[in-house]
Chain A
């Protein structure tokens, strides 16, 4: 998927250099959430940020998405410093964050509406992505009529409807049950093939990280540093059987060691 024949594609889509993030606190020392994180994000890859809860993964994702400025260090996407959210970014959050007053299709269309793109073609695109995630026939339902898994699918559609180049996902499947979660993982991999987007995926599940990713950045406990950078050489398309293979387990082991869970 990398270097699709264009001449200007750099080897690296995103660069993170010595990213440090500290929060001011009243009457206490600054809280250092992220000590020093550096890695490269190759175009078209899916990279997971794996770490214990409260380690600064979400903070890092917000920084990459331009929702927060770094205290120090360098954050570049597509060669440009990230200082604010970019039109080419799509975000999915821990909660679906759907608007209860909008129907499913109008929730998906929200990003397009903000750009004043509301034509028939755009509506059709929203219907197409909903079909892709298996929500055909629910276009005119309200979010309150959907299950948690379905709501998260709608949120996924909304994150990709404007065809972003970078998809930032913050534990979007964290609140789902195991079976729905596995379904959503396969769905994400399919979406990735279709859109060709580069994806940064925050998770605290080791197996989820191994199953989805081309590479895993393991965050240490706060203040976060890169505990390990794991290339995942498993072939795509990935299947459920893969989860029980020796290669898969050994990658899980390595991530577990980086997290200090296994020896």
Chain B
């Protein structure tokens, strides 16, 4: 088991190292311009030199993504409960849900900015909009796919509708809710960055844009890498939350 843990860590690191080595040698050998493709060493150096700035700009993006994601959970899960348990609401809401989802978020971002301004609220709203859909769809699917045997058991024991939901349907849907949340949390970061691209005064997306405009390739790439690290860390946070909420999943190992 310990060996498996180590392998889980080592192989991704080896993969990263190989990419960096190839990238670095390519940049060195062919004298690629730093503006076009800075080498990993350039990016690392820029990260270190601008550490304070990057950290400062990470905070708004982090805040927007996490709050947008949290809002998507708070609104998405109850909505999924309604959609999964009522045919009427399902018919009424599902087409609208899908319609809103097929609108490109980049296209509505300017409108949202008009509504909420250049501050964090507009990014939070866009992060919420992109994170919302996978949570509703996966949760609703999970709530509908309660194992029939457990439903039968509940019925045979005269469980009330409330008990059936709270003690059978909802816990059975947890794996689905978490798989939706994992997708949603990475999408939330993307949503926040879209918002920052369209109009903002801070955040990693904003930093990326301005560094790019100043032809500061290494800093733009550093912002990009910090963004992806932020996404990975938030994803890991959801995985850890899942392990805490669902301890039985790993129990058989």
User: Which residue numbers of A lie inside 8 Å of B, CB to CB?
Assistant: 65-67, 84-85, 87, 89, 91, 93, 95, 97, 99-101, 110-111, 113-114, 141-142, 144-145
Interface hub of A67, A89, A100, A110 (most chain B Cβ within 10 A): A100
What are the residues of chain B within 8 A of A97 when measuring CB–CB? 147, 149-150, 152-153
Overall SS of chain B's interface = helix
In the complex, B167 has a CB within 8 A of chain A? yes
The answer to whether residues A100 and B248 also contact, given A93-B149, A95-B149 and a CB cut-off of 8 A, is yes
The answer to whether residues A84 and B158 also contact, given A100-B248, A142-B248, A144-B252 and a CB cut-off of 8 A, is yes
* Contacting residues of chain B (26-74) with chain A, CB-CB under 8 angstroms: none
What are the residues of chain B within 8 A of A89 when measuring CB–CB? 156
Are B174 and A93 touching (Cβ within 8 A)?
no
State how many angstroms separate the Cβ of B96 from the closest Cβ of chain A: 31
A–B pairs, 7, beta carbons within 8 Å = A65-B156, A84-B158, A101-B172, A111-B157, A114-B167, A144-B252, A145-B251
Q: Kindly state the separation between the CA atoms of A93 and B251 in the bound complex, as whole angstroms.
A: 25
B: number of interface residues (CB 8 Å): 22
What are the residues of chain A within 8 A of B152 when measuring CB–CB? 67, 93, 97
Q: Kindly state the separation between the CA atoms of A142 and B153 in the bound complex, as whole angstroms.
A: 18
Are B246 and A145 touching (Cβ within 8 A)?
no
In the complex, B159 has a CB within 8 A of chain A? yes
Are A99 and B150 touching (Cβ within 8 A)?
yes
Are A91 and B153 touching (Cβ within 8 A)?
yes
Q: Kindly state the separation between the CA atoms of A100 and B154 in the bound complex, as whole angstroms.
A: 15
Are A93 and B163 touching (Cβ within 8 A)?
no
State how many angstroms separate the Cβ of B151 from the closest Cβ of chain A: 10
Q: Kindly state the separation between the CA atoms of A89 and B152 in the bound complex, as whole angstroms.
A: 14
User: Which residue numbers of B lie inside 8 Å of A, CB to CB?
Assistant: 147, 149-150, 152-160, 163, 167-168, 171-172, 174, 246, 248, 251-252
What are the residues of chain B within 8 A of A99 when measuring CB–CB? 150, 168, 171-172
The answer to whether residues A85 and B248 also contact, given A97-B147, A101-B171 and a CB cut-off of 8 A, is no
Overall SS of chain A's interface = loop
State how many angstroms separate the Cβ of A161 from the closest Cβ of chain B: 11
Q: Kindly state the separation between the CA atoms of A101 and B167 in the bound complex, as whole angstroms.
A: 10
Which partner residue on chain B sits nearest A146 by CB separation? B252
Are A114 and B153 touching (Cβ within 8 A)?
no
Q: Kindly state the separation between the CA atoms of A40 and B150 in the bound complex, as whole angstroms.
A: 30
State how many angstroms separate the Cβ of B242 from the closest Cβ of chain A: 12
Are A113 and B167 touching (Cβ within 8 A)?
yes
State how many angstroms separate the Cβ of B253 from the closest Cβ of chain A: 10
The answer to whether residues A144 and B157 also contact, given A67-B152, A113-B167 and a CB cut-off of 8 A, is no
What are the residues of chain A within 8 A of B147 when measuring CB–CB? 97
What are the residues of chain A within 8 A of B153 when measuring CB–CB? 91, 93, 97, 110
What are the residues of chain A within 8 A of B163 when measuring CB–CB? 114
The answer to whether residues A142 and B252 also contact, given A93-B153, A97-B147, A97-B149 and a CB cut-off of 8 A, is yes
Q: Kindly state the separation between the CA atoms of A249 and B218 in the bound complex, as whole angstroms.
A: 87
What are the residues of chain A within 8 A of B167 when measuring CB–CB? 110, 113-114
Are B150 and A67 touching (Cβ within 8 A)?
no
What are the residues of chain A within 8 A of B246 when measuring CB–CB? 101
Q: Kindly state the separation between the CA atoms of A141 and B159 in the bound complex, as whole angstroms.
A: 25
**The 8 nearest A-B residue pairs measured at CB:** A97-B149, A144-B252, A142-B251, A142-B248, A91-B156, A101-B171, A85-B156, A97-B153
Q: Kindly state the separation between the CA atoms of A142 and B160 in the bound complex, as whole angstroms.
A: 25
Which partner residue on chain B sits nearest A66 by CB separation? B156
What are the residues of chain B within 8 A of A100 when measuring CB–CB? 248
Q: Please pick, from B150, B157, B251, the residue contacting A114 in the complex, using a CB distance under 8 A.
A: B157
Interface hub of B163, B248, B251 (most chain A Cβ within 10 A): B248
State how many angstroms separate the Cβ of B90 from the closest Cβ of chain A: 22
